[in-house]
Each structure stands twice: as structure tokens, then as C-alpha cells.
Structure 1
Amino acid sequence: MSYRKTFFIHRILLSILSLVFILGSVEPTLAERIDSGVPGMIFEQDVPITMTDGVALRVNIYRPEKPGHYPVLMSMGPYGKDSRMDSVPAYSASWARLIAKYPDLCKKSSCRYLRFEEADPERWVPQGYVVIDADSRGAGSSPGMLDPFSPREIDDYATLITWAAHQTWSSGKVGLIGTSYQAINQWMAAARQPEGLAAILPWDGAFDYYREIAFYGGILNPAWKFWWDHQVVPDQNGNGESPLKDMVNGQRTTGEALSAELLKQNRAAPLDAWISHPYDGTFYHERTPDGSRITVPLLCVANWEDWSTAGYMAASSKSKWLRIETGDHLTPFYSEESFDLQKRFFDHFLKDAKNGWDKEPPVSVQVRSPDGTFWKTDATWPLRETQWTRYYLDADNSEMGPDKDGLAATEKSYAAMGDGLTFKTKRFNEDVEFTGPVALKLWVRSSTSDMDIFAALHLIDPEGLEITFTGNTDPHVPADQGFLRVSRRAIDPVKSTNYYSYHPQLATKPMVPGQIYEVDVNFAWPTSVVVPKGYQLALSIQGKDWQYPPSASIVPSKDYVLPFSTNPGLFYAAHPNRDPALYGGTSTVATGVGQASYLLLPLSPSRH
């Protein structure tokens, strides 16, 4: 069934369901009302809400005790609506970083109701909001098939939004809030245009399911298996061995125990699905929103090292803002500055507050430099004053620079699974800022019929040491990273720009060993970096995951990186689909006249 037909059927079902809510029992039968321990806050736990197919999902509702009509903030995810973040083993490192960064966090709140990647109701309810946390289908106390980001899951989210808009304590306006998973599904739900949805605030959430989650540059990302095994499956409904404990009664949060066989039947492992769907198509289209249907006001908060601007660029909302920051996966979301930002946004769109939010610059970016960070604003993304600058590679002397004159045709080879090649600029004679998307044009050949390209951009200080940055999932990341499987090199020029090449990912076209090919490599995220006077930029190119060499002064933190990988970030390519006979050959980069390879950088005039 096509997406359009599915959408209209879903809208009809939602309309019928909404009518039932309006004419029938508006208030649900509550499973249990718990003493919240917070003055002025009512806590209703495990409230059953019936979905369009008759399955009842469970939600927790936190609302002001004083009667009234309040806007709703909602999150839905698979991590456990009943488990405190500080009690879940998988989140111990995240919790430790959060408390180290904000030691007074649990003085402003008991943190009893703080959930991984979700808003703290103790902070929002006193501000006049209802907060709803939902266990997604198949997770926690919600029964059914556990199938992350599936059309069924997003149908459920849209149903919950409309249900919340019709409750007697609701103002009729619903906003979505949350980071990562709880940001990704915001984009999806918004595209359904459910009744009652008034604003979304996706914080660090991917948009394109194929290109930003499953495959980077056509290369499978099996790092998600760790996420699935350690964060999602433990909270599966019916998991009798779950370590997650209810914050109220200390019991398991996953309901009545099911057999191992039934548990397996009730879940769909994403990595298995990706392996069986190697090309972009219906499976991914159902999980990637139609940006033209996202029309609600939105504030997209992105990170320089992880999911970033795709949703903001795709959305058709007339009222939309983009904020790109640096920092780890979790702590920025819970800062005082971030809470104030979130509150101003929602107060404006859910409470009609005249607080000046509509005068906020559309784009705010946190620029990184060796001396710290600073913010600057703009009206557009990429920044309107961006000067796209090519740094041409020279294989003869392993340098790169803005001048291509006099570069003779030459090439250099490397073992694909070895250390690869590194190209360096000369030392900069003044401070220069680069902020925006990064791209790489290469002319390459391989001794085999395929080739993987892993590119990394580095900032090098006058002593030759690399300056790293705090990444979403690692404390030491390079300035940017790019990926491409050369057999997936095809480009759709209509969907491409001068700084981004859209790879349709519809088929594999093997290389002819020894033949040269022109390819375009997208960097996974935009970058922002000030290169001070006396510093250099370096570009590394190799055929395996980028890792800091043993001789580097940088020691990856066990608290951040995946336990089976020493490369920075939440991507690694070590997987059986990487046949050494195919991806372990000899690779060659060609440069110079007739085969100009270059790094495209976003030169940005500094305005701080």
C-alpha cells in the first residue's frame, strides 16, 4: 500500500477515534494514581490508551493539581517510562557525565521522574504544562510488536497526540519534546499531521532513515546492534530478565514475563532488516518523513558530530529555527540554558506568550575553536556569507591548498586496510573560520571491484598535535568525517547541490579493477572550526574506520565509545558484509591536471 493511501486511511481512523473520545468517555480509566511526592503535581501511572487496532498502550501522565486546561508535552520511546535514568545500567555513563556537568541537577528536582532522553516533568508541571511519557508498542508496559520507527509505531504516536488534545485537562495543544530517539520520531509524527499537534522540538534527531541511521555513504552501520541489545531489548514488554525496575514499587517495568521464543517473535531487529534491504526503497521511505507534510512550528537542535540539519532543511514549516551546538549526547539537553530555550519556544506556540520568540534569528550556531566556543546567528543555512573554497590535493607531496595551478597529474596508492593517506595544508597565516557542510571530490582506482572511503578532517596545532572536539558519543572526535562505498557512487543531479551530492542508493555498480573513477564523498555532518594562525588542517583518507593511532596522545574514553570499537563516534563498519577480498585491496587517489581531487570547505567570515 502506498504512503499516500496509508496516510488517508490513518486520518479517517483518527477522525473516528477522536469522535469516540469527544462523545464518549473523555477521561480514561486510570490504572493507578500515585502520590507524586511533588507538591501541586498529579501523577497517573500506566494509563491505558487504545490504539486504532485495539491494542492499549500505557502512558504516564504528570499534570498540575490545580484544575485548568494546560498544553501537553509528550514523548514516546522504547527505553522505559517507569525507570529512573540513574538506575539503568545502560545509562550509567550518561548519568555520570550529566551529574558531573550539572551537580545541582537533582537539587532543582528529585530526579525521580527523569527518563533517558526525555523532559523532567518536575520542571515542566510547575510551569503550567502536562507531561506525558509513553511506552512505545512492545516496550515497557505496552504490549505488541517491538518495531522501532515502524509505520505502526508512528500511527500510535499520532493517535496519542490526538487523544491528549481532547482530554478535559488539555488546552488542545500538544508539543513534542525529547532528544535522539524521541527526536527522530517527532519528525515522523509531525508528517502525519495529527489533530492537536502544535509544535515540535526535535533535539539531535536523524531525519533520513537510510542515510543517517542505517547506511552512511552506502556503508552499513552495525553499531546499532549494541543499541538494540543493550538499550531496547532489555525494556521489551514481557522480558522476564529485564534489569529495569519501576521507580514506585521496585518491580520489573516490562509486565508479565513471556517465553524467549515469543519475545523473539514480538520484536524486529533493525540491523537484520537493513541487511535484507541494502538499497533505499519502500522500507526506508516508510520510515523517512515527507518533509513537505511537516508544517508545524519547530525548533531543530543539532550537533556538530551526529544528526544535524536534514530535518530542518526538509521541513516546510513557515516558522522554523535551527540551532547547532557542540557537546555530548545528553548533557546539553538538560542544562539551564536549554530549559529556558525550550520553555520560551513552547510558551510562544503552546501558550501564545508574547515573549519575543518570533524575533529570534532563524539560525544559531556554536562555533568551535581551540580556545573554546562562541555563538553567532544568521538568517539562513548554510550561512548566507559562506564562501565555498576548494583545497586541491597533491598526491606528489601530500599537501592540499586553494591553488590548483601547477599541480601535475600524479597519484598515490595505499593498502585499503592500512593507514591510508594524509594531506595537510600549509600553516595558516591568519585566523580562519569554516562553518557549514563539507564535501570531497576524489578521483580513485582500486585493485578490486569495490572500495570504501573513510575520510576525516583534523585540526593540527603548531606542535603537530591534533585538537579534538567533544562529540555526541565520544569525548575526542575530529573536526568531521565522511563516508562512501564507491560501488554506490551514482548521483542524482536534481537533488544535489554544490556542497552535497545526493546518492540514490538504488543499486551497486562494481568498479573495474585498475580503472579510474570520479566520486563525490559527503561528510556525515556539517562542521564548525576556527583554524588559528599557525595551525593546519589535515585530511585523512583510508579504507577502514578512522581510529586514533596508538602513538596519538588522545586516549578514547571507555565511558563514551562502543566497547567493541576504538573509533570515535557512533559509526563503525566492522561487519561480515566487509569482505576482505573485496574491500582490502590496494586503493589509489589521483590528483592534478584532468583528475583534480579537492576538499570543499565552507569559509565563513568571523562575526563574533
Structure 2
Amino acid sequence: YRKAQPIDSPRARYPGFKPSTTLLKSGTIRRDGARKLTCDIIFERDVAVKLRDGITIYTDVFRPANTTVKSPAIIAWGPYGKEIGGQWLDDVPGRAGVPLSMVSELQKFEAPDPAYWVAHGYIVLNPDARGAYMSEGNQTYYGRQMAEDGYDFVEWAAAQSWSNGKTAFSGNSYLAISQWFIAAEKPPHLTAIAPWEGFYDGYREAGRRGGIAQPGFGEEIVQTYAGNAYIEDHVRMQLKDDLMNPYWEDKIARIERIDVPAYVVASYTSPIHTHGSFEGFRRIATKDKWLRVHNTGEWDDYYNPAHVEDLRKFFDRYLKDIKNEWEKTPRVRYSVLDPGAKDTIDIETTEWPVPGTTFTKFYPQADKTLRSAASPKEESLSYEATQKGGEVLISFNITETTELIGYSKVKLWVEAAGSDDIELTVAVTKRKLDGTLTSGAGKVQNIAAAGLLRVSQRALDTKRSTESEPFQLHTKEELLKPGEIVPVEIALWPIGLRFRPGETMVLSIA
């Protein structure tokens, strides 16, 4: 653990502990340029909620005024504060594509806007998770503790006088990750979830993707957590614990247990959320699940009015029992990215991966091309790993429109001259007609099907691996011996990418 950022620090942006009830009148504008309220809202601030171990956390409640009708509740579970807090859209360049006029600024970071949802008969609950701000205890980083806390909160919400007994979760990024963990705990009054881009495996998808520590992003995020006690130092654990162990097992949500209706949103371009979003959809147990794959950013997609309306139709069906034919919504709506031309969105299909996908093998050649047949003789390519920009680019010229959809892998035979290990980054991307690459090795957040692997952790889980999706165990280290050449299989995260005649498919290895 490490000490949390003090709640009175400038970055915490804490408005103070103010248990109170306020009537927000229709027409209220919280901030110049923000959307005005279209109905009266009862705003209850810093409501105490007792958890099973005696810890008290605090939540804000936004609910309809002037009514005795019991309403369903939408919960936004996260660590950044119940209002502006340690994270805020204003911190992101261009407000991440979310204009101020699109929201009321009553919303917490990455969470539903109470101005919209209360106007449509919902209650919005914004709890500060354990250890955040004035909530008691030490703050954890996902795991079973958060799952149990969320379970208790769901059951508290369902028992309140204003509740119709039905609850759901909504939110993106951290607020999506928390849904996988809490829903897997199966609280009886959880009715639906809507995870908007969130990983579920804290080792393979975030902390040590491919067995390689990823402390930079984690450190950036943990510095936004504010509280009065301590926070779990997951960054230190990334650097300390190389292999899968009980700590990391706790950071994997038991998504196979999730049996409530789910509206899942994914994209191809998140460096941490892409795989988990798709895998969550595939592996949750419920048959009532829908996937939408967008082509923009997670925040602007989340607040896009058309998508908010789409989510409301889903919630209306399961939280209000409105017979609105939601079930006729296509089970999967995916996008195909087309840098240099126009993306195609909302392609309808019945499942993911897309039915009818064909797999094609390409073989790297010594002349740095990809061909449909292996070279008849032994050949090799090399690069200087210790030099900046060291990589190999291997190309295949596209002669007819081709789409790379879903999952793929790279199989290599590798040697580390003068070393006993290698950290590999591979990516399949495209070179546009103007000669520019849409991404490359080491730039996995851009448009590419990318994968990482620490070669000493190459051992596969033979039960989980498939021909197109290798799955590493990460339970043992096998260092390379001098002159040893070993095979490795690297899973590439899912992608939807179109190649046009004259463009080039590029495999980068670094």
C-alpha cells in the first residue's frame, strides 16, 4: 500500500463533506455552457452506506422529485470522486470529444449523466468506493474486496424506499471493469450491466500484458486516487511479482458467473480495454447479451446522444419491464476501420467472432515480405533491440479489398543474441496509399492488431489456447540459453481493419 493523495490537495478537487438534501430545479445550469436540467432533481449528498465488515462508504443520490413512484437505480462504481474529483473531462485534450453542451456536469468521471437519466425515471447513484475521499478503509485495485463491496451496495440500494428493487451498473473504463467483478459476485438485486470498454484480467490485459510490466499508465492513474488512508500499490506489484500468483489471480474477474442481461461496448484501439471488452462479451454466461463495437473514443461514444438513447432502451426493457422489442436488436454490431477512407459502422451479425471468418497463413521471407508459402530454405531476419527504433517491418501488397476481422496470431522462432530474454511487441497494421503507417510496434494504442510477449513466459495453456488465440500461463520463467532458438506464439488483440488495393499489410516486430 501507499498513502493516498490527500483529499484537500488541488488535484483531488474535493467539494467537502456535506451530508444534505437539495432540490435542483428544472432549468438549472450547473456550469456555463453545460446542458440545463429538464426536470426537478432531488440531490442527496454524502449518504452513508454500511458494508458487511463495518466500513462506511458514502454515496450521492440523484432521484426524481415530485413523485411517489419507485424507480430503478443505475450505479456508477469508481474511485475518482462523486463529483469532479481526481479525474475530469477537462483534464483530457478536447474534453475527449465530449463538448460541454452534451452533459450537465452533474456526472462523475466516466459515468452516466443524472440530468438525462433522472428525467427518464431513473435514480443515479454515485458512490465513493472503499477508501476514496471520505469513504472509510483502504482503497483496493479491483479484486474480490471490490466485488463484495459492490454486492453490498447493490443490496442496500434495492432496499431503499425509493427503489423498485432493480439495479444496474453503467460507466466506462474503471467503471466498466468494476462491473465485471461485482456482477460476478451475483448480488440478488442486480438486474443488468452495461460495461463500456473495460478489461477483466488485471494481469494479462493491463498490469503485465504478455508478461511485460506496464507501470506507466498505472502510476498515472493511481496518482489521481484521493483518500484519508492508503491505496493498494498495484504499480509496485507489477514490478515485484513477475508471474501469476494469488495476488494476480484476485485481479481476474470471474466473468463466467455473470448471468444478468448485458449491453457491452468495445473498440479496437484501447491499449488496455480492447481484449477484455470482447472477451467479457464472449464468456459471460447470460444469453441476454449484446455487443456494439464503435470506431471512436470511449468517452465520446459513451456520451453520444444516440448511444445514450440506445442504452436507455436496453435499461427500459430490463429495469422497467417495458415491452419495447429490445430483443430484436442485433446481437452484435461491429465496425471496420478504414484509415484513409471511411469507416463502416454498425455492421449487424449474430455473434462474435464474426461467423464465416476464414483464416489465412502468411510466412515472413528474408526479403521482408509476407507470402502464402514458407521459404524452402532456412532464413532469418534480425534487428538491434537495444537501439531506439529497432524493429523489422515485413510487408504484403494488397491487390483486392481485404478485411482483417477478429483474432489472429504471430508465430515466430526467436533467438536473443547476447541475452537470455526478449520482450517482443508485434503488430499488424497497414501502410496507406500515401505511404504512412496507421500504427507500428510499440504503438499499440493506435490502429493495429497488436500483441506483447516476454519470451521467457512463452509457455502456453493448452486447454485455453486455440489455433488463432494462444493463451500463456505466466506461471514459470524459461530463460534462453546462448544460441537457443525457441518458438513463440503471440496473440494479437481483435481488430476490424480494411485494406484496399494498392495498400500494404505490414507486420512489425520489435
Q: TM-score, normalised by structure 2?
A: 0.88
* Residue in structure 1 matched with residue 255 of structure 2 by the alignment: 291
The 1:82/1:101 distance shift into structure 2, 3 A limit, reads closer
Question: Structure 1 residue 181 and structure 2 residue 207: aligned?
Answer: no
How far apart, CA to CA, are the structure 2 residues paired with 1:89 and 1:501?
36
Whether the 8 Å CA contact 1:51–1:57 is kept in 2: the answer is: yes
For the Cα contact (< 8 Å) 1:102–1:335, is it kept in 2?
A: no
2:115, 2:24 → 1: CA distance?
A: 10
Q: CA deviation at 1:516?
A: 1.0
Aligned to 2:54: 54
Q: Does residue 368 in structure 1 map to residue 361 in structure 2?
A: no
Match of 1:77 in 2: 78
Matched, 1:538 2:506: yes
The whole-number CA distance in structure 2 between the counterparts of 1:377 and 1:153 is 35
Residue 439 of structure 1 and its aligned partner are, at CA, apart by 0.9
Greater length-normalized contact order (CA 8 Å, ≥ 6 residues apart):
1
Q: Residue by residue, what CA displacement relative to the aligned partner does 1:407-466 show, whole Å, maximum 9, x if unpaired?
A: 42201221113322110002x221111111121011111121111111122211233222
Corresponding position of 2:355:
384
C-alpha contact 1:94 1:330 (8 A) present in aligned 2: no
Counterpart contact for 1:58–1:134, Cα < 8 Å: yes
Residue 380 of structure 1, CA deviation: 1.7
Q: C-alpha distance in 2, partners of 1:361/1:76?
A: 28
Give the CA deviation at 1:324: 1.6
Name 1:281's counterpart in structure 2.
245
Displacement of 1:467 in angstroms is: 3.6
CA distance in 1, matches of 2:377, 2:317: 59
Match of 1:237 among 224, 227, 237: 227
1:36 matched to which residue of 2?
24
TM-score, normalising length from structure 1? 0.74
Measured in 1, the distance between the counterparts of 2:83 and 2:99 equals: 23
Q: In the aligned structure 2, how far is the partner of 1:62 from the partner of 1:74?
A: 11
Residue 52 of structure 1 and its aligned partner are, at CA, apart by: 0.7
- Cα offset for 1:299? 1.3
Q: For residues 24 and 183 of structure 2, what CA distance do their matches in structure 1 show?
A: 31
Distance 2:323 2:268 in 1: 31
Map 1:456-495 onto structure 2 (within 5 A).
Answer: 456-467=427-438, 477-495=446-464
* Partner Cα distance (2:156, 2:167) in 1: 10
- Percent of matched pairs sharing the same residue: 28
The answer to whether the 8 Å contact 1:454/1:541 transfers is yes
Q: Secondary structure at the match of 1:60?
A: strand
**Alpha-carbon shift at residue 178 of structure 1 (Å):** 0.4
For residues 368 and 322 of structure 2, what CA distance do their matches in structure 1 show?
57
Match of 2:321 among 349, 352, 357: 352
Shift of 1:154: 2.0
* 4+ residue runs over 6 A deviation: none
How far apart are 1:231 and its partner, in Å? 2.0
Aligned with 2:306: secondary structure? Answer: helix
* Cα distance in 2 between the residues matched to 1:290 and 1:539: 34
Q: Bigger shift: 354-363 or 114-123?
A: 354-363
Instruction: Using the TM superposition, give the Cα deviation of residue 282 of structure 1 relative to its aligned residue in structure 2, in angstroms.
Output: 1.6
1:505 matched to 2:493? The reply is no
Q: Report the residue type matching 2:60 in the other structure.
A: N
Report if aligned partners of 2:459, 2:473 keep a CA contact under 8 Å in 1.
yes
Larger deviation: 369-378 or 503-512? 369-378
Partner residue, 1:96: 94
**Structure 2 matches for 1:24-423, cutoff 5 A?**
31-38=19-26, 39-65=39-65, 66-83=67-84, 91-94=89-92, 96-98=94-96, 102=99, 104-106=101-103, 111-232=104-225, 236-238=226-228, 263=229, 266-306=230-270, 307-308=273-274, 309-369=278-338, 370-375=340-345, 376-394=347-365, 396-404=366-374, 406-418=375-387, 419-423=390-394
Structure 1 unaligned spans of 5+: 1-29, 239-262, 543-608
- Cα distance in structure 2, aligned partners of 1:89 and 1:200: 23
Over 3 Å counting, the alpha-carbon distance change for 1:72 and 1:101 in structure 2 is: closer
**Counterpart code for 1:412:** L
C-alpha displacement at 1:509, in angstroms?
Answer: 0.8
Q: Tell which deviates more after alignment, 178-187 or 442-451.
A: 442-451
| Ranges in structure 2 where 5+ consecutive residues have no aligned partner | 1-17, 27-38
CA distance in 1, matches of 2:239, 2:183: 28
* 1:72-91 per-position Cα deviation (integer Å, ceiling 9, x unaligned): 1001111010327xxx6764
Aligned AA for 1:105?
M
Contact 1:449 1:513 in 2 (8 A): yes
**Paired residue for 2:12?**
none
C-alpha distance in structure 1 between counterparts of 2:368 and 2:376, whole Å: 12
* Residues 159 and 126 of structure 1, relative CA distance in 2, 3 Å threshold: same
Residue 425 of structure 1 pairs with residue 393 of structure 2: no
1-structure distance, mates of 2:186, 2:269: 30
Q: Does the Cα contact within 8 Å between 1:457 and 1:478 map onto a contact in 2? A: no
Q: What is the RMSD computed on CA atoms of the aligned residues?
A: 2.0
Contact kept, 8 Å, 2:83 with 2:107, in 1: the verdict is no
Question: What is the identity, as a one-letter code, of the residue corresponding to 1:312?
Answer: F
Residue 150 of structure 1: how far off its partner (Å): 3.5
Structure 2 residue matching 1:330: 3-state secondary structure: helix
- Rate the CA distance shift 1:112–1:478 in 2: closer, same or farther, 3 A: closer
Alpha-carbon distance between aligned partners in 2 of 1:467 and 1:139, rounded to the nearest angstrom: 39
Q: Number of residues paired by the alignment?
A: 468
- The answer for the alignment partner of 1:449 in structure 2 is 420
Structure 2 letter corresponding to 1:384 = P
What does the per-residue CA deviation read over 1:87-111, in whole Å, with 9 as the maximum and x for residues that have no partner? Answer: x67643437334x5546314xxxx2
Out of 145-154 and 208-217, give the one that drifted further.
Answer: 145-154
1:300–1:323 CA contact under 8 A, matched in 2: yes
Q: Is 1:526 aligned to residue 494 of structure 2? A: yes
The superposition leaves residues 112-139 of structure 1 with CA deviations (integer Å, 9 ceiling, x where unpaired) of 3122100000100010101100000111
The offset of 1:504, in angstroms, is 0.7
Distance 2:166 2:123 in 1: 10
